Structures are given as structure tokens and as C-alpha cells.
Chain A
Amino acid sequence: MPTEPIREYADSDGRYGVVQTQYARFDGIQLESGFYLGPLTVAYETYGTLSPNKDNAVLVVHALSGDAHAAGKDKDGRIGWWDAMIGPGKGIDTDRYFVICSNCLGGCKGSTGPRSINPATGKPYGRSFPLITMSDMVNVQRMLMDHLGIDCLLTVVGGSMGGMQALDWAVRYPSRVRSSVVIAATARLSPQGIAFNWVGRNAIYSDPIRACGDPDKTALREKDGRGLAVARMIGHITYLSEDTMEVKFGRKRKLTDMEGFRYSLGENGTEDGEFEVESYLEHQGSAFVRRFDEDSYIIITKAIDYFDLEGQYGSLTNAFKDITAKILVISFSSDWLYPSSMSHAIVKAMQANKKEVAFIELDLPYGHDSFLVNAGIPSMTRIMKGFLNGVR
């Protein structure tokens, strides 16, 4: 199957225009762990206009490394992570719907997370930030909906970790969601998923300077952060597919004018990547260090690891028994991190409860990240438009 080159996010035009991130402030939240976290800030953006009846609100939930900036351009001209899907006339049409996206709890893009100041110490929480769960993230979103005066969401839509939350919304707040779109997600993180997250966190833990436990390490960030870069590289491998890598990189090498291999690890044995796939990962890793926080990475991947509706409710069938929302489950044939079979397990448990569930496995070669890449956008757009049209 022909595969076009993959970018981190799909090309887009920022058609919605300039948007500004807003902040909602709350006293605090009781976490599932029992810990009380406060004060609490939630960074969010909105697009479109809330209808007088407040019945056209769509909550978009980001994945592990996303943020509240989902569509339009920010003041620096940076285009939102799902701008290809959100905007006037797009899959989630901002002329019709009021779209909300917030940075998750524990994140590093404006919502309360490890970089926030711990009122008890006057210093950033760093690694002392309390462990959180998907449900905690969802509860914070629910507080934001209360803040915005939205009683019932038309749809909650999210991919990967966002899909877990879209599912959790339908499970725990049946009266507050009319539908959920669960993309490339699972109801229970697999041991393989836990393993990859564990390796990623271990890469961070083995960073020598981080090991000193100093929470105020902004000055050191540029200097190392290799652990986080390695964690991101591992993550990136799991988001792609073998097919995509073959087509995009093959065995191409960086210095194409050179005959044969370099037969050298570089100066002082500091290898900088001879194959293109290596330099791609290197680029992804070092770019991530500049825009993400390693402690957020730890906190969020732990929350993903904890996600297990099956364990929490005894069985998936039991977990879904109170759902009233229409559910659309979308998976990708080439996703080996959260394979289609995991989505199908969600669907089967919904069916066992005779819930209104639809299931689409899209045949796309781009792996777990298919919902974010150019080639996935046309199909996803048609599906989102059609599905949202039918939600009342």
C-alpha cells in the first residue's frame, strides 16, 4: 500500500483564525487516590459559539503529548494539533458546534501539573506531584464544563489517551454526554503498553542530573533531558507502523553522497545517527524535550497504566451497563499499540448491554497515530460529520 510521508500532525490551514488559551481556576480537587490537590488551574480553548440552549458543545480530548491548542493559530502562528479536523466546514464544524479542548490534569501546557507551584513548599511539585488517573482528568474536565455552564455535551471525542477519557465520560457521567467517539483507544492498557511506558519512564529516571531530585531544574533542561528524548523515541516507534517506516525511511542514510557505511560511531563514540530513521527519532526526541516536561510524562503515563475499566468494574460488560450515550468506536488496522481487537472488545461489551454502538476499523497504514496524519483526515472528516449529524 502506498504510504505518504508522515508529519507529526496533519498539514492544515488554521482556518479558524487566532485563538487564545484561557484559564479556569478552582479551589482544588479530591483525587481518586484520596489526595486533595489545590489550587487547580485548567488551560482551555474554545472554538465556535455555544448555542442558546447550550446543546452544541463538543469536548475534544488530547492524547499524551497534546495540549489545549487543538485548532486555529496561537499568537505565534502555531497551528493546533487537530486543526485539520476542527474549524469552519471541517469534520467538527465550528460554524455548528461549540468546541472545547483543555490541557489535561498533570500536563505541562497551562493546567495544574508537576511544573505548578506546590503551595505547601512554594516550589514546583516536580516529581512529588500526586499520582492521578484518567478519571481524575475527566473530573477536571467536568469541573470545566460546570464552569462554562454546560450540563450536557453533544459529544466527547478523543484519540488514544483521549479516547480512554471519552469512554470514561460515557461510563461515569451518562447524564452529561449524548455521545462519545473513542478513537484508537482501549478500555484496559495492555501489559505491552505498560511495558513501553515503563521503559520510557526508566529512560527518564536514569538521567544522571535528574537523579539529584532537585525540583527546580529549569536551568538544566537544555543541558540534558536525554531520558525524556529516549522515552519519546520509544513512544514514537510504537505510534508508527512497520509499513510507514519502510516507506518513509527505508534503509536510507543521512549522508547520501557517501558510498557504503560510515564504519564510525562519530567523534568520541557519540553516535549521532547514520540512518534516516535514526535522525528522525533524534529530531522527535530533542524537539519533545523542548516542549514537554519529563515529570508530566511520568505522571501521565502512570495514569494511562492505571486505566483498566475491566479491573475497576469487574468486567467491561458491567462497566458499560449505565451508558446512555451513543458510542462510536474507531480503530486502525495498522495500530499495534492499541490494536483493533481492543476496540472490538469495547464494542462487544457495549453490544452485550444492547447499547447504541457503532464500530469502524479504518484500513490505514500509519499505525496508532493514523487519526493525526494527513491521509487519515478525509475519512475521519466524513465519519465525524456524519456521526455528529445524527446526535441529538
Chain B
Amino acid sequence: MASADLPEIRTPFDEFEVGFNIIIDLITPGTRVLDLGCGSGTLLQRLRDEKDVEGCGVELEQESVIQCVERGIRVMKLDLDDGLGGFPDLSYEYVILSRTLQQLMRPDLVLKEMMRVGSKCIITFPNFGHWKVALQYLIRGRVPQCSTHPHPWFNTPDIHPVTISDFRDFIKEIGGKIEREIHIVGNVPREDAFWANRRAEWGCCLISAV
């Protein structure tokens, strides 16, 4: 995964409420949930408290891992780019990848692993297709820097920018099916938002194997 020393200057992970709310709404109570790149366990804690979920997190950053333990969240310190080798097939009802997709070395391999381990996958990612992003490139001729992609090109954890349209093709290609699409437009969640690829800051998809 990307360099750990880079400060996260997007909405702090713990305050990504809109995104977390969407994910929490998608999850059936009492299920087993694996959260990849779980940070300090905010989402898993909410899932445990609000949905009685049996959660497990995967995180690489040591301080976050320790914070998970302090919160009573079960956690594994692993690098997602090494795959999910230890996790048995279909051992979780949901596997979540929140705000981490664009930071992976091989998103395709990780997604395939997620679909092997979970019955359903939930993925949220910043949309590189947003019109403001596109305009920066088109008008100014610069690599875009904005609220969803705040880092300069030469030092960014977002090594794989992806648009909502790209993501739809990508899921088809790796043999998955998008069951639901929720978009965050102007910080408001909308189911299948109109012209999402150009208007949404974030995409959030519920995916299952075909």
C-alpha cells in the first residue's frame, strides 16, 4: 500500500459519516463483516454497536491497529496487496473496502480476493470523473488536486485514480455484478444519481459474484 507517512487530508477517516452511513445501511444486522483498510476501527465499532455485526478489520498502519485493539475491534495487521490468503472462501457475509481501492497496487487482485472471501462486497472510492476534476485537467492542463484527490501527483497514496464509469467496466471484467450504486453528490447520498460519473464526489457499490 501507499506510503504511510503521508497525512490524510481528505475528510478525516473518522468523520466520513456520509460514506459510513451508506455502508451501514447496506448491511444486514447480525452478519460477519470484514473491513479492509479499517483504520482505527470507527466503522466496525459503529457496525458492532448499531447492527450487532461480528467484525474483523485489516489494517497496515501500526497506530491504527493498536487503536482497533483498544476499541475492542478484532484486527489483523496485514498488507492488502499481499492478498487475503489466510481468509477461507465465503467466510464473511460482507467484505468492505472503504476509500482504499485507489491506493492499492493491484486493485483487480484485491477485488477478486474480496469476492472469494465475501458473499457481498461494498466498495467506496473517490470519483476521478467529477466535472471539477476533469476541468482542472482540461482547462489548466494540470493533474487535478481537489477535495477528493488532495495530494500532488508526485506524492500521493492515490496511485490508481478511477471514475465511476471505469469502475462499472472493471467489475464486469473481473466477473462481478453491481447490485446497488449509491453516489455522494454535494455530500448527500443518492441512489443511482443522475449523471453520477460527472456529478458525484464518491461512488459506493454493493457487489456480488455473478
Residues of A within 8 A of B (CB): 328, 344, 347-348, 351-352, 354, 356-363, 379, 382-383, 385-387, 389-390
Contact = CB atoms under 8 A, between A and B. Distances in A.
Contacts of A344: 86
Interface of B: 62, 65-66, 69-72, 74-78, 85-88, 91
A239 B82 CA distance: 28
B41 to A, nearest CB: 10
B69 A382 contact: yes
Given A382-B70, A383-B66, A360 B88 contact: no
A360 B69 contact: yes
Contacts of B78: 359
Nearest to B62: A363
Given A379-B66, A386-B69, A386-B70, A348 B85 contact: yes
Contacts of A386: 66, 69-72
A356 B86 contact: no
A370 to B, nearest CB: 13
Nearest to A391: B72
22 contacts: A328-B69, A344-B86, A347-B76, A347-B86, A351-B86, A351-B87, A351-B88, A354-B88, A356-B74, A359-B77, A362-B62, A379-B62, A382-B69, A382-B70, A383-B66, A383-B69, A385-B70, A386-B66, A386-B69, A386-B70, A386-B71, A390-B72
B51 to A, nearest CB: 18
A358 B72 contact: no
B88 A358 contact: no
B155 to A, nearest CB: 22
A186 B196 CA distance: 51
Nearest to A361: B77
Given A358-B74, A360-B77, A352 B86 contact: yes
Given A356-B74, A357-B74, A359-B76, 11 more contacts: A347-B76, A358-B74, A359-B75, A359-B78, A360-B66, A361-B77, A383-B69, A383-B70, A386-B70, A386-B71, A389-B72
Nearest to A387: B69
A358 B85 CA distance: 15
Contacts of B72: 386, 389-390
A80 to B, nearest CB: 24
Nearest to B63: A379
Contacts of A387: 69
Contacts of A379: 62, 66
A358 B69 contact: yes
A72 to B, nearest CB: 26
B79 to A, nearest CB: 10
Contacts of B86: 344, 347-348, 351-352
A348 B66 CA distance: 20
Among B75, B77, B86, max chain A CB count under 10 A is at: B77
Given A347-B76, A359-B76, A382 B66 contact: yes
A202 B188 CA distance: 72
A348 B70 CA distance: 23
Nearest to B91: A354
